[in-house]
Structure 1
Amino acid sequence: MESRWATVTLVTKLDKLAIRSDSNSRRWMGLVAISLSVAMIIVDSTIVNVAIPSIVKDLGITSTEVQWIQESYTLVFASFLLVFGAVADNIGRRRLLILGVVVFAVASVAAAFADSGAWLIGARLIQGLGGAAILPASLSLINSTFTGRERGIAFAIWGSTIGGMAAVGPLLGGWLTTSFSWRWAFGINIPIAIVIVVGVAVFVRESKSALPTRIDGGGAVLSVIAAGTLVFALIEGRTDGWWFAKDAPSIGALEWPFILSPIVFALLISASTIAGFVIRTIRRAAASKPTLIAPELFRIPSFRNGTTVAAIVSLGEFGIILALPLWLQNVLGYTALETGVVLLALALGSFGASGLASATVDRITPITSVRMGIVLEIIGLGALGLVISTDTPWWAIVIPLAVYGFGIGLATAQITNVALAGVPVGRSGQASGTQSTARQFGSALGIALLGTLLFTVLQLDLERRLDGVPGSDAIVSAVVGSAGTAMPELSIRFPDAADEARAALALATSWTAYAAAGFLAAGLLSTIKLRADSPTDRSRHTEIEHPVADAAASDS
C-alpha cells in the first residue's frame, strides 16, 4: 500500500514538473522526446534489413529464420495497435509510452546479445510489443497536448519523423554494420531510449480519459488474432503461395501437410475474427459496455474519411522502400552504406516538409497540405520510374527521392492531424490505435502487392530475355529466389545472363514505382470527401487543463 502511494506521489510530482515546463512553452521539448520515440521504432523496422547478411554469417541461421527476423516485429506490432490504443486512454498515455520504450529497450538488449536465430526472433517479437505501445501513445499525446496552429506544426514534425526515419534506417544500419557490428543495430536503441524516458518524464504531462473503463478482453483477443493472421497472410503470401502451397512450407521439423497454402487458412481465420469483432463491438456498444473501438468515432466525418485516406495512401507510400535497395545494390552495385546515403535524400525531403508546414500553417489548411503532399509523392515516384535503368546516375535518383520525401512529410502528418482533429481527447488513444492499425494494414497490403509485382515482372521479363538459353530456368530461379543477391556470382559464371538479370530487375523496379504512384493517385481521389472537424472546447478543456488531478484521482 505504501509503495502504491509512493508511486502516486512520484507520478504527481513528475506531472507538476511537466506542467511548469508546459507553462514556459517547453512542451516542444516534450514533442522532441515523443518524436524520438517514433523515430526509434521506425528506424528499427528498416535497419535490420541492411544488417541481415552479417547476421546470417555470424549466427549461421536458415533462410526461414532470416524471414522471421525481419517479419516477426511487423506481425506483433500490427496485431497490438488497437489494444494499446484503448489501454493508453485508461492507464495514461505518457505512462504507456514510457512503458513501451522500456520494453523496446530491454528487447533491444536481448537482440544485441542473441547467439541464435530463435533468440533473435524472440527479441524481435518483444520489440514489436513495445513498438505497438509507443505509436498510438505518441499520437494521442500530441493530440491532447497541442491545439490550433501549434497542433498543425506538431503533427508536421511527427509525420516528417516517420517519413525521414524510414530512409535513415538503411544508412544507420549500413554504417553500424560496416564500421562496428550488426549487434549495434540493436544496441544503438539503449542510449536513445534513456533520452526518451527522461525527456517524456520531464517535459510531457500525463493525459488519460476522465472516465476510465474496463478493457474489452474478448475484443482484444479477437483483434490480435484478426490483425496477426491478416498481416501474416500479406507478408507470407508470395513465399508460401496465395492458393496452393509452395514447396511444403515448414517451421523447424514441422512440415505443412495440406495442398492448400497456409495463407488460405490465415485469410479465413482473419475474415471470421474480423466479422466476430465487428458484431461483438456493435452489440456491446448498444448495451453501453466498453469496446476496443468506439463505434461513435466513425460518426465523426473527419475521422472516418481521414482513416480511409490514410489506409489507401499507405498502400503506395513505403512499398518502394522494399524495391529500391535491391535495385541500388544488385543492379547499380552500391554498397549498403552507399545505398543508405542515397536514400537519405528521402529523409531530408521529409524533414524539409516540416519546416514548410511550420511556416505556412496559417495559410495552408491541413487538407490542402495532404493533397499537395500526395501530388508531390506521385510526381517523385513517376520521375523515379522514368529514370530507373541499369546505369542511372546518382543525382537522377536523389532528386525524385527528395521530392517524394517532401510529399511524405506533408501528407503523412496532416492526414493524422485531420483524422484526429474532431476526436474528443478522451478517445485519443482508441482513435490513434484505430488509425495506426489502418495505416499498418495499408502498408502491409501495399508491400505485399508491390513485392508480388516486383518479383513477378522480374521473373517474366528474365524468362523472356533468356528464352532458349541453356540452364535459363535455374538462372531465373536463382535470381528471383535470392531477390537479386545471386547476381555477383552470376556475373562471374554467366556474365551475359547477369546483364539481362540486371536489366530485368531495373524494369521490375520501374514498374513498382509506377504502381506505387497509382496507389497514391487512388489516395488523392479519396481525399474528395475529406473535411476538417474540431472537437468541442469543453471536451478538450476537461482533458488538458486537469490531467494531474485526473491521474492522481484514478490512481488513489
Structure 2
Amino acid sequence: MTDHYRRRWVGLVFISIAVSLIIVDSTIVNVAVPSIVEDLGISSTQVQWVQEAYTLVFASLLLLFGSLADRFGRKRLMLIGIVVFAASSVLAALAPTGELLILARLVQGVGGAMILPTTLSVINATFRGRERGIAFAVWGSTIGGMAAVGPLLGGWLTTDFSWRWAFGINIPLGIAVFVGIAFAVAESKETRAKGIDVVGAILSVVLFGGLVFGLIEGRTYGWWSGTETFTLGGFTWPWAISPVPVAFAVSALALVGFISWGLSRSRRGRPSLLEFSLFRIRSFSNGNIAALVIALGEFGLILSLPLWLQFVLGFDALQTGLVLLALAVGSFVASGIAGAASGRVDPVVIVRLGIIAEIIGVVAVAFVISPDATWGWLLPALFVYGLGVGLATAQLTGVILQDVPVDLSGQGSGTQSTSRQVGSALGIAILGTVLFTSTGGILSDSLDDAGVPEAQRDEVVSAVVDSAGAAIAGLEESDPSGVIPDAAKAAFSDGTRLSALTAAGFLVIGLGATFALGRGSARSEEELSAQTAHR
C-alpha cells in the first residue's frame, strides 16, 4: 500500500469531518434556540433569522464558490472556508446580542458554501472507478448521519453546558480538519479557464438568494399580501404587498439574465460561472432534476419530528437527539452497504432502493405518530429511513458527477449542491406550511366540537401554531380538565403525520424522476474533456 494511496483515504476522513461541521451547524441550532431566546432576549423575528440566515447565504453562494474552486484551487478554497467557518463560530459563541449572532450565522454560511462543493469536487478529482463510489458513499452517509447527530449534539451541549458550546465545538474541530486536509489532500484546479465571471456571480447570488428567501419566508410574511412586518436592521418594508412575491420576481429576472449572460459569454469563448455544456450530459441534467425533487422530502422528518417529540411527548432536547440517533445509525450502515455494492451494482439501482427505503421509513413514522405514541416504535422506522438517505444521497451524487470532466468538478459539484439546497428550502417551506396549517385547522375544529368559545378558540390556535407547539405545555397548566391540551396534542400529531406523508409523496415523485436517468452508461472522461476543450 503506497503512501499516496493511504493519504487519499486519510484525506477522505478529514473531508467527511469538514462536511460534518457544516451539516451539523445547519441542524444543531434548532434545539438551542429556546436557551438563546432566554439568554439574549431576542425577538421572534430575530429567532427566525438566527435559524435561516445560515441557510439563505449558504444556498446563495454554492454555485459561485464551486466555480471559484475550479479556477483557484479546490483544496485552497476549502481551507479558506474552514478558517472563515471556525472564525465565525468564535463570533457566534461569544455573541452578546441577537444582531451579532445573526451576523455570525451569515458569515458561517459563507464558510459553509466554500466547504461543501469543494469536498465533492476534491473527491471527484481524487478517486476513480469503484473507489469513487465508496468515497461518495462515505460522503453521502456523513450528510445523512450528521443531520440527525446535530440535534443530539446540540441537545447535550445546551442541556449540560451552554448554547454557546453548540457553536464553540466547531473551533477545535475546525483546527483539526484544517491540519488534516492541509497534509492529506492534494491540490487540484482547472488550468484552461482565465478570468472570473463577475456579472454571473452577482446574478447567481441574487437568483438563489431571492428564491431561497421567498421559499423560507413565504409562510411568515405572506405569499402575496403582507401578513407580518418585514424588518432588517433599520429598514422596514413599506408596502402592503409581501416582500416574498417581490423576491420571487427579482429571482426570476435574475435567472433570465444569468442564462442570457452565460450563453453570451460561452459563444464569445469567455468563461462563465456555470458551464452550460454540462447540461448536455444526460446523467448531469436529469440527475440534478431528480436531486431537487428528492430533496423536497428527504429531510422532512428533521423539520417536524423534533417539535412533536418535545412538545407532544414531552421529551427534552437530549432525549429527542437520542431518538433521532437511529436515523444516523441507519445512514452510517448505508455507507458500508453502498461501498460494498460499488462497482457491482448499477448506482442508479442503489439510488432507487434508497428512495424506496426512505418512503417505507417515512410512512412507518407517520403511522406511529399519535399523542400517546411509544417512542420505541420510532427507532426501526427511523433506522430504515436513515438507511435510505445514506444509500440515495451518495449514489445520486456519484451518478450526477460521473460524466463531468475533472476540470469542471467544482462547477458540477456546486450545481448539484445548489439543486439539493433549493429543493430542501422548497421542502421546508411546503412541509412547514402543511404542518402548521393543518394543525391550526384540525385544532380549530376540535375546539369547536368541544364547545370552546370562539375568542378562546382563536387564542389557543394562534398560540399553538405561532409557537410551533411550544405553547402546549402552558395549556396543560391553565386547563386542568385536559380538554384543550389534549385537543392541541392530537392536532399537532395529526399535522406532523400529514407533513410526513407529504414528504413521502415528494419521495415517490423523486423515485419516478430517477427513471429518466437510465442506466449508468458513463462516457469516458477523456471524451468529455476533449468535447469541452473544443466547445
- Structure 2 length-normalised TM: 0.96
| Worse overlay, 248-257 or 137-146 | 248-257
Residues of 2 paired with 1:345 and 1:98: CA distance? Answer: 32
Matched, 1:257 2:244: no
Q: Pick from 522, 526, 530: which aligns with 1:534?
A: 522
Matched, 1:460 2:441: yes
Residue identity over aligned pairs, in percent, reads: 57
Matched, 1:239 2:220: yes
**Contact (CA 8 Å) 2:22, 2:112: kept in 1 or not?**
yes
Matched, 1:287 2:272: no
Match of 2:131 in 1: 150
Instruction: Write out aligned runs for 1:379-418 (5 A).
Output: 379-418=360-399
Instruction: Write out aligned runs for 1:495-534 (5 A).
Output: 495-531=482-518, 532-534=520-522
Residues of 1 paired with 2:289 and 2:528: CA distance? Answer: 24
State the SS of the aligned residue for 2:373: coil
Residues of 2 paired with 1:21 and 1:315: CA distance? Answer: 42
Alpha-carbon shift at residue 201 of structure 1 (Å): 1.1
Residues of 2 paired with 1:153 and 1:207: CA distance? Answer: 20
* AA partner of residue 343 (structure 1): L
* Cα distance per residue 1:399-445 (max 9 Å; x no partner): 11100000000000000000000000000000001111111100000
Matched, 1:469 2:456: no
Residues of 1 paired with 2:346 and 2:427: CA distance? Answer: 28
* AA partner of residue 27 (structure 1): R
**Contact (CA 8 Å) 2:222, 2:228: kept in 1 or not?**
no
Cα distance change, pair 210–387 in 1 and its aligned pair in 2 (3 A): same
Match of 2:305 in 1: 324
**Contact (CA 8 Å) 1:424, 1:535: kept in 2 or not?**
no
* Cα distance per residue 1:161-190 (max 9 Å; x no partner): 000000000000000011111111011001
* Cα distance per residue 1:335-386 (max 9 Å; x no partner): 1100000000000000000011122223222111100000000000011111
* AA partner of residue 530 (structure 1): L
Matched, 1:491 2:476: yes
* AA partner of residue 88 (structure 1): A
State the SS of the aligned residue for 1:515: helix
**Contact (CA 8 Å) 1:21, 1:203: kept in 2 or not?**
no
Residues of 1 paired with 2:224 and 2:119: CA distance? Answer: 39
Match of 1:136 in 2: 117
**Contact (CA 8 Å) 2:133, 2:343: kept in 1 or not?**
no
Residues of 1 paired with 2:361 and 2:37: CA distance? Answer: 34
Residues of 2 paired with 1:528 and 1:247: CA distance? Answer: 42
* Cα distance per residue 1:24-78 (max 9 Å; x no partner): 4331110000011000000000001111111111111111111101100001001
* Cα distance per residue 1:273-314 (max 9 Å; x no partner): 111111111111112111111110000111111111111100
Residues of 2 paired with 1:33 and 1:540: CA distance? Answer: 30
**Contact (CA 8 Å) 1:105, 1:189: kept in 2 or not?**
yes
Alpha-carbon shift at residue 533 of structure 1 (Å): 4.2
* AA partner of residue 222 (structure 2): G
Matched, 1:355 2:339: no
**Contact (CA 8 Å) 2:88, 2:104: kept in 1 or not?**
yes
Match of 2:533 in 1: none
Alpha-carbon shift at residue 252 of structure 1 (Å): 5.2
Query: Structure 2: any 5+ residue segments left out of the alignment?
Result: 531-535
Match of 1:4 in 2: none
State the SS of the aligned residue for 1:466: helix
Matched, 1:30 2:11: yes
Give me the CA root mean square deviation.
1.5
Residues of 1 paired with 2:366 and 2:27: CA distance? Answer: 22
* AA partner of residue 352 (structure 2): R
- Structure 1 length-normalised TM: 0.92
Residues of 2 paired with 1:153 and 1:105: CA distance? Answer: 28
* AA partner of residue 524 (structure 2): T
State the SS of the aligned residue for 1:156: helix
**Contact (CA 8 Å) 1:47, 1:185: kept in 2 or not?**
yes
* AA partner of residue 469 (structure 1): V
* AA partner of residue 213 (structure 2): F
Q: Pick from 89, 93, 111: which aligns with 1:108?
A: 89
Q: Pick from 474, 478, 481: which aligns with 2:466?
A: 481
**Contact (CA 8 Å) 1:425, 1:539: kept in 2 or not?**
no
Alpha-carbon shift at residue 213 of structure 1 (Å): 2.1
Residues of 2 paired with 1:122 and 1:537: CA distance? Answer: 42
Alpha-carbon shift at residue 243 of structure 1 (Å): 0.9
Residues of 2 paired with 1:230 and 1:138: CA distance? Answer: 25
Residues of 1 paired with 2:525 and 2:434: CA distance? Answer: 48
Residues of 1 paired with 2:228 and 2:13: CA distance? Answer: 48
* AA partner of residue 137 (structure 2): A
Residues of 2 paired with 1:247 and 1:540: CA distance? Answer: 51
Alpha-carbon shift at residue 392 of structure 1 (Å): 1.2
* AA partner of residue 429 (structure 1): G
Q: Pick from 439, 449, 453: which aligns with 2:420?
A: 439
Residues of 2 paired with 1:530 and 1:406: CA distance? Answer: 22
**Contact (CA 8 Å) 2:214, 2:248: kept in 1 or not?**
yes
**Contact (CA 8 Å) 2:443, 2:461: kept in 1 or not?**
yes
* AA partner of residue 343 (structure 2): D
* Cα distance per residue 1:197-238 (max 9 Å; x no partner): 111111110011121321200000000011101101111100
Alpha-carbon shift at residue 537 of structure 1 (Å): 4.8
Match of 2:290 in 1: 309
State the SS of the aligned residue for 1:519: helix
Residues of 1 paired with 2:239 and 2:174: CA distance? Answer: 45
Residues of 2 paired with 1:151 and 1:364: CA distance? Answer: 14
Residues of 2 paired with 1:538 and 1:250: CA distance? Answer: 52
| Worse overlay, 330-339 or 241-250 | 241-250
Alpha-carbon shift at residue 257 of structure 1 (Å): 2.0
Residues of 2 paired with 1:191 and 1:496: CA distance? Answer: 49
Q: Pick from 409, 415, 418: which aligns with 1:428?
A: 409
State the SS of the aligned residue for 1:411: helix
| Worse overlay, 256-265 or 64-73 | 256-265
Alpha-carbon shift at residue 498 of structure 1 (Å): 0.8
* Cα distance per residue 1:63-113 (max 9 Å; x no partner): 111110110000100110010010000111011111100100000001111
Residues of 1 paired with 2:123 and 2:3: CA distance? Answer: 16
State the SS of the aligned residue for 1:142: helix
**Contact (CA 8 Å) 2:404, 2:525: kept in 1 or not?**
no
* Cα distance per residue 1:245-281 (max 9 Å; x no partner): 0133334554322121111111111111111111111
State the SS of the aligned residue for 2:6: coil
State the SS of the aligned residue for 2:156: helix
Match of 2:208 in 1: 227
